[in-house]
Structure 1
Amino acid sequence: MNLKICALIIEAVQSCIKDTVSSKEIELALGVYLAKASERLKKNTEGIIQEDGDVQ
């Protein structure tokens, strides 16, 4: 899966959370969780990305 698509999915989820969650603490916790998930995804896909940006 293309990393750009993953980033768009994460942004969409964050947007939905902002629209539906009123508690700032929960919003921040979920934002941190999604940021860490994004970092793990990037780290796990390093080295297997082809030149065109697609993951093998």
Structure 2
Amino acid sequence: MSDPRDRATSTPPPTLGEGCVRRYDPDELSEDNGTDFPGAEELWRKVQEEEQINKKAP
């Protein structure tokens, strides 16, 4: 940046829909979007198992 007052900015990826159904356009997402969360799949599986157990309990 040649101008010291220039600020780095980021912009979200394009979205689809409006209001409550607004979401990121999956066709526009790349490896550069998102975060690194290697335990996400395991955490999701655990949450789903706990929900199933809670549904069975009276």
Using the size of structure 2 for normalisation, the TM-score is 0.36
Richer in strand (by share): 2
Rg larger for: 2
Highest relative contact order (Cα 8 Å, sep 6+), 1 or 2? 1
Using the size of structure 1 for normalisation, the TM-score is 0.37
Richer in helix (by share): 1
